[in-house]
């Protein structure tokens, strides 16, 4: 019987574990390889984990750095925004100040323009009045001089007639004495008697003529007296006219100087001239004195009217201000009084309520004396006492406020008493009545002034037109008057034409005679030879007249051409100035008209500038030449616009734009353009970031610069740092700029 070993609790051997079997070895190798692969995988995972941890740490550090940079950018942005707001506020304040100054200057300019127009209108009116017054004075002086000359002639004629009458009376006395002598001698000669009768008839005729002359002298004296009366009436009318004329001081002084100069040119009254001329000189001096007195009176009246108007305006303004102030103070007093009454009534009501509540509490305390032992009753009493004390304090303040209001009402401090209000109303009514009275007086004075001005104008027109009353006045006509001059000119022309016509008739008769002689000679001759005839000739007067007319026509033609040339020069200058102001180019034409030179207002002066010359040949084809330092930089533009597209206006527009950007004025516009392009570039970068999904700033910039280089975007819009005032001036793009900065980082 075989012996079986007893089981043990120790470690089994490899033989007991069945490891030597093929299946066990295979399973063991499989497990070993599995463990090896797992260890290798574990090692790989550990390496990957350490690498990921390092990457996570790097990302965390990068995030912290980006957060710090973003915070710094945000602080810089807020600082720039604050500076921009301050600058914008200062600019707004400066703009308000400048706007106010501009408005004030415009108002002053408008006021000065209105005053200038008023002064011009017044100057025109005064010039017209001065011209009319000077003309009337000249007409009056000429009329008086004509009257003086006529009276002088009449006086001389009367003296001649008087001398003739005296001589005739002497002859009559001689004839009578001779007749008495002849009667004494008693001669009966018939011839002597006939002579005596004839002499008697002659004496009778002379006597009748003498009587007629005496009656004519009497009539002339009567007419002279009537002329003196008419002159006195004219003087009275002239005085009345000068009393009503309203003119300014300068015109009156000028008229007075003219009148004084006229009076100074008259002869001296101590000379041997007639008394009528001295009387006329005295009248002229009297008129000058009246003229000066009228001037003073008119100035006084005008000053009185101006004072009345100023006083009326002051009274109206003061009454309006007083009325507004009184009404405002009345409203404030009523409002404060109403508030005081309402406060007093509310305080009294609250005081009654508090007293009732206090009495009720006291009655409750008196009804329950044993309740004081409790702990809540003393607290309730203290609370009620504090409430009563607060009510008393409030009531005292209300009473004090009401007393202050009453004292202010009584003293009139800031308020109005009823008596003062009534007095102010009475004063306002009086001022309104006075204003109405002054307005009526001003209207009456204005209407009377208008009526007097119209009457003076009518009388001046009548005097200037030569209107007179034939019953009291006689119109004296000057020898060298305009009508007589015109009549003399026409008469001279008629005589010249008659003389020319006579000469033409004589020449025609002479030609007829020569023609008849030539015909007779032609009929008598057999050889057919005609007598020579003189060439046709015209009279010398016709030739002179035609020559004078030709010279006048040539002068008129030259004058019209000169005037037309001046007008064309002026209009062409205005046209060139308008082109220079609107388009910015100064145009100069050559004398031949084939060359045109253009100079821009934005180009520098001298050799550093730009001059464009256009030359045309045969009116259709032309050339363009550029000179100056700036011409080198415009070759590409010339090639693009002029050579390729045949557009000179486009070339000039581009040149104007470039030169404007180079000036001081254009620098501000260039800065604005750069800001706008930077905004566009930032937005384009954000859009590329969103499309590509990348966060690399260098990659985005390279893509954007590549687009700009290949023509998909403008070359001037490549990313560049923004200006200092970008964040404050362009707040509309802040969100896009923030997104761009965040995503690029």
Across 275-292, average pLDDT: 63
Q: Residues 100, 102, 108, CA angle at the centre, nearest 5°?
A: 105
> Which tops the pLDDT comparison, 294 or 124?
124
Q: Whole-model pTM above 0.75?
A: no
First-last CA distance in the chain: 92
**Cβ–Cβ < 8 Å for 695, 744:** yes
- Which residues, 6 or more positions from 334, have their beta carbon under 8 angstroms from its beta carbon? none
Question: Can you spell out the DSSP letters for 124-152?
Answer: HHHHHHHHHHHHHHHHHHHHHHHHHHHHH
- 249 has pLDDT over 90: no
Token digits for 740?
Answer: 């761009």
- Kindly report, residue by residue over 168-179, the tens digit of the pLDDT: 767 777 777 777
In this structure, how many other beta carbons lie within 10 angstroms of the beta carbon of residue 213?
16
Across 331-352, average pLDDT: 69
* pLDDT of amino acid 531: 42
- Kindly report, residue by residue over 606-644, the tens digit of the pLDDT: 777 888 988 876 655 678 888 888 888 888 988 999 889
Cα dihedral sign, 504-508-514-515: positive
Give the three-class secondary structure for 478. Answer: coil
Token digits for 674?
Answer: 């750069």
* pLDDT of amino acid 674: 60
- Which residues, 6 or more positions from 168, have their beta carbon under 8 angstroms from its beta carbon? 206, 207, 209, 210
Using alpha carbons, list the distances in angstroms from residue 580 to 68, 584, 624, 628. Answer: 58, 5, 20, 20
- 150 has pLDDT over 90: no
- 342 has pLDDT over 50: yes
- 664 has pLDDT over 90: no
Token digits for 372?
Answer: 């004081």
- 734 has pLDDT over 70: no
Cα 589 to chain centroid, rounded: 35
Residue 138 pLDDT class (50, 70, 90 cuts): confident
* pLDDT of amino acid 520: 79
Using alpha carbons, list the distances in angstroms from residue 113 to 104, 116, 121, 127. Answer: 14, 5, 12, 21
Token digits for 165?
Answer: 């009458």
Tokens 């008598």 locate to 524
Give the range among 143-147, 332-336, 458-462, 510-514 with minimum mean pLDDT: 332-336
Residue 488 pLDDT class (50, 70, 90 cuts): confident
Q: State the average pLDDT for the chain.
A: 71
> Which tops the pLDDT comparison, 472 or 94?
94
- Kindly report, residue by residue over 293-336, the tens digit of the pLDDT: 666 776 777 777 777 777 767 766 776 676 677 667 666 666 66
- 291 has pLDDT over 80: no
* pLDDT of amino acid 739: 36
* pLDDT of amino acid 729: 36
- 658-662 own/partner pairs: CB under 8 Å, 24+ apart: 658/634, 659/600, 659/602, 659/603, 659/610, 659/630, 660/602, 662/602
Tell whether domain 300-458 is in CATH 1.10.3470: no
Using alpha carbons, list the distances in angstroms from residue 126 to 123, 130, 258. Answer: 5, 6, 16
Crossing angle for the helix pair 418-465 and 22-185, to the nearest 10 degrees: 50
* pLDDT of amino acid 21: 73
Across 379-395, average pLDDT: 70
Residue 686's Cβ-count burial label (10 Å; 0-12, 13-18, 19+) is buried
- 497 has pLDDT over 80: yes
Across 116-131, average pLDDT: 76
Give the range among 191-200, 442-451, 547-556, 727-736 with minimum mean pLDDT: 727-736
Give the range among 20-29, 177-186, 402-411, 637-646 with minimum mean pLDDT: 402-411
* pLDDT of amino acid 504: 82
* Percent of the chain with pLDDT strictly greater than 90: 5
- 445 has pLDDT over 70: yes
Across 345-368, average pLDDT: 71
Give the range among 46-55, 199-208, 400-409 with minimum mean pLDDT: 400-409
Give the range among 254-268, 276-290, 719-733 with minimum mean pLDDT: 719-733
Q: Which of 726, 638, 735, 743 is nearest to 83 (CA)?
A: 726
Task: Give the C-alpha separation, 209 to 200, whole Å.
Answer: 14
Task: Give the C-alpha separation, 595 to 655, whole Å.
Answer: 20
Task: Give the C-alpha separation, 551 to 548, whole Å.
Answer: 5
* pLDDT of amino acid 709: 37
């Amino acid at each position: 019987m075989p012996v079986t070993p007893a089981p043990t609790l120790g470690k089994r051997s490899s033989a007991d574990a069945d490891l030597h079997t093929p299946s066990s070895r295979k399973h063991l190798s499989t497990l070993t390889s599995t463990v090896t692969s797992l260890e290798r995988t574990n090692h790989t995972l550990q390496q990957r984990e350490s690498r990921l941890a390092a990457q996570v740490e790097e990302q965390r550090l990068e995030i912290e750095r980006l957060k710090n940079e973003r915070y710094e950018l945000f602080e810089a942005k807020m600082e720039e925004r604050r500076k921009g707001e301050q600058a914008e506020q200062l600019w707004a304040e400066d703009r308000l100040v400048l706007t106010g100054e501009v408005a004030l200057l415009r108002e002053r300019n408008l006021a000065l323009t209105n005053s200038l127009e008023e002064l011009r209108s017044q100057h025109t009116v005064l010039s017209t009045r001065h011209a009319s017054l000077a003309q009337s004075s000249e007409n009056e002086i000429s009329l008086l001089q004509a009257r003086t000359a006529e009276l002088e002639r009449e006086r001389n004629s009367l003296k001649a007639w008087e001398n003739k009458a005296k001589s005739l009376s002497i002859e009559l006395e001689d004839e009578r004495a001779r007749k008495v002598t002849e009667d004494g001698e008693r001669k009966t000669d018939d011839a002597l008697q006939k002579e005596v009768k004839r002499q008697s008839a002659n004496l009778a005729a002379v006597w009748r003529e003498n009587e007629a002359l005496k009656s004519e002298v009497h009539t002339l004296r009567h007419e002279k007296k009537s002329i003196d009366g008419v002159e006195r009436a004219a003087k009275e009318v002239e005085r009345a006219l000068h009393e009503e004329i309203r003119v300014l001081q300068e015109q009156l002084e000028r008229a007075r100087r003219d009148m004084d100069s006229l009076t100074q040119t008259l002869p001296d009254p101590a000379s041997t001239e007639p008394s009528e001329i001295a009387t006329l000189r005295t009248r002229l001096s009297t008129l000058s004195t009246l003229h000066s007195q009228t001037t003073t009176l008119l100035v006084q009246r005008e000053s009185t009217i101006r004072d009345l108007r100023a006083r009326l305006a002051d009274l109206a303004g003061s009454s309006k201000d007083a009325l507004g102030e009184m009404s405002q103070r009345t409203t404030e007093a009523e409002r404060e009084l109403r508030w005081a009454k309402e406060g007093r009534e509310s305080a009294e009501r609250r005081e009654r309520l508090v007293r009732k509540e206090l009495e009720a509490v006291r009655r409750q305390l008196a009804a329950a004396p044993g309740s004081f032992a409790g702990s809540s009753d003393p607290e309730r009493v203290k609370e009620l006492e504090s409430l009563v004390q607060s009510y008393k304090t409030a009531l005292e303040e209300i009473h004090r406020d009401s007393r202050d209001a009453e004292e202010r009402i009584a003293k009139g401090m800031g308020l109005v008493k009823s008596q003062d209000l009534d007095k102010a109303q009475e004063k306002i009514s009086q001022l309104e009545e006075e204003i109405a009275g002054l307005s009526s007086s001003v209207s009456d004075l204005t209407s009377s002034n208008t009526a007097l001005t119209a009457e003076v104008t009518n009388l001046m027109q009548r005097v200037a037109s030569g209107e007179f009353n034939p019953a009291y006045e006689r119109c004296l006509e000057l020898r060298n008057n305009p009508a007589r001059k015109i009549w003399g000119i026409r008469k001279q022309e008629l005589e010249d034409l008659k003389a020319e016509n006579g000469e033409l008739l004589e020449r025609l008769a002479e030609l007829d005679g020569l023609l008849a002689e030539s015909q007779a000679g032609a009929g008598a001759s057999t050889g057919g030879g005609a007598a020579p005839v003189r060439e046709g000739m015209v009279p010398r007067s016709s030739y002179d007249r035609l020559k004078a007319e030709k010279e006048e026509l040539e002068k008129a033609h030259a004058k019209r051409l000169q005037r037309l040339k001046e007008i064309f020069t002026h209009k062409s200058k205005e046209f060139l100035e308008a082109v220079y102001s609107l388009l910015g180019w100064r145009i100069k034409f050559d004398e031949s008209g084939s060359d045109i030179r253009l100079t821009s207002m934005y180009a520098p002066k001298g050799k550093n500038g730009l001059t464009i010359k256009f030359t045309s040949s045969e009116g259709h084809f032309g050339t363009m030449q550029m000179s100056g330092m700036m011409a080198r930089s415009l070759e590409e533009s010339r090639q693009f616009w002029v050579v390729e597209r045949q557009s000179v206006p486009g070339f000039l527009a581009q040149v104007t734009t470039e030169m404007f950007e180079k000036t001081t004025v254009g620098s501000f516009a260039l800065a604005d353009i750069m800001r706008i392009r930077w905004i566009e570039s930032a937005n384009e970068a954000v859009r590329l970031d969103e499309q590509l999904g990348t966060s690399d700033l260098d990659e985005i910039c390279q893509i954007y610069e590549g687009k700009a280089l290949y023509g998909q975007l403008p070359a001037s819009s490549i990313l560049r740092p923004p200006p200092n005032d970008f964040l404050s001036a362009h707040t509309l793009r802040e969100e896009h700029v923030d997104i761009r900065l965040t995503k690029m980082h």
